[in-house]
């Protein structure tokens, strides 16, 4: 199930959701909350939060990345285990005393990463929709929600 469904939002929620709803924190179980890509970016731009991209190095290199994001993979390809350096990296980022907003492909891995952050006493939020959003009817990502679809800053190598 997508992270947005557990938060009560659809990945296309911004398409017909009131603008003020995009700029609020949605309650979540086991971590600080879920935020829209727009709210996450607003926090980053205002200096309230650090953006942490928890996707693998390969995903960032091949699919695209947010230049301002700190890269800290939750899991690395080809292993399916949690990155053994994740906790130490997260703690180091949290030392800046800012909330963390976590970005993955679709808003699922970032939930797991936010839950782990909460267990470590770190204020971390999941970014709904992730970088690419859910697959569309043709199983293509990037067309239904996501950081890129919403026109937020990103680059590709």
- Give the count of beta carbons closer than 10 Å to the beta carbon of residue 142: 17
Q: Supply the pTM of this predicted model.
A: 0.85
Domain CATH number, residue 95:
3.40.250.10
- Report DSSP state, residue 48: S
pLDDT digits (tens, 9 = 90+) for 24-59: 999 999 999 999 999 999 999 999 999 999 999 989
- Asked if residue 122 is part of any domain, the answer here is yes
Number of domains in the chain: 1
- Asked if residue 71 is part of any domain, the answer here is yes
CA 24 vs. chain centroid, Å, equals 15
Q: What is the pLDDT of residue 18?
A: 60
Q: What is the pLDDT of residue 109?
A: 92
3-state helix, strand, coil in the chain (%, to 5): 30, 15, 50
What's the domain range around 51? 1-7+31-157
- Asked if residue 21 is part of any domain, the answer here is no
Mean pLDDT of 82-107: 94
List CB contacts of 72: < 8 A, sequence separation 6 or more.
52, 53, 54, 83, 86, 89, 90, 93
């Amino acid at each position: 199930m997508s992270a947005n469904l557990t938060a009560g939002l659809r990945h296309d929620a911004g398409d017909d959701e009131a603008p003020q709803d995009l700029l609020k924190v949605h309650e979540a179980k086991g971590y600080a909350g879920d935020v829209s890509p727009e709210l996450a970016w607003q926090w980053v731009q205002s200096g309230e939060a650090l953006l942490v991209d928890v996707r693998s190095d390969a995903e960032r290199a091949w699919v695209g990345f947010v230049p301002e994001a700190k890269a800290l993979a939750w899991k690395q390809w080809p292993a399916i285990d949690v990155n053994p350096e994740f906790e130490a990296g997260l703690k180091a980022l949290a030392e800046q005393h800012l909330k963390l907003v976590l970005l993955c492909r679709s808003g699922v891995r970032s939930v797991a990463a936010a839950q782990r952050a909460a267990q470590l006493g770190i204020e971390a939020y999941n970014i709904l929709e992730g970088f690419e959003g859910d697959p569309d009817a043709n199983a293509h990502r990037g067309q239904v929600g996501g950081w890129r679809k919403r026109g937020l800053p990103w680059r590709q190598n």
